[in-house]
Amino acid sequence: MRAELKATADKRDMLLRELEHLRSHVDSGHELSLTGSESHPVHSYDWLKTECDAAMDELHLLQQQHSDMVGIFFTMRCTIVLQNAVLR
């Protein structure tokens, strides 16, 4: 039981050190690669603008698809209502 507790405490301490290391890199304005090492300074304005533009394009596409689906639903609903009215 003591060995498990010690192993757990050691792992916790190691993770806390790693977390502190990661925080220090983020606080210094650097981003981290998947391996956790410092890769390069935070992305430039141009990169962020490109990412934002791509996200806005995707948003507009999704809004158009939503509008199209609402229009199709409305058309189908009207058709069903008219068919039911004719059958009565």
35-50 per-position pLDDT tens digit: 544 444 556 888 888 8
8 Å CB contact between 68 and 80? no
pLDDT at res. 34: 47
Task: Please give the backbone phi and psi of residue 39, each rounded to the nearest 5 degrees, phi first.
Answer: -105, -60
Dump pLDDT digits (tens) for 22-32: 777 766 665 55
Quote the strand ranges of the chain, DSSP E: 30-32, 38-41
Residues 33, 73, single domain; the answer is no
Number of domains present in the structure of the chain: 2
Residues 48, 18, single domain; the answer is no
Is 19 exposed, middle or buried (CB count within 10 Å of its CB: 0-12, 13-18, 19+)?
exposed
Query: Which pTM does this prediction carry?
Result: 0.44
Residues 26, 54, single domain; the answer is no
Dump pLDDT digits (tens) for 63-74: 999 999 989 988
Domain interval for residue 50: 43-88
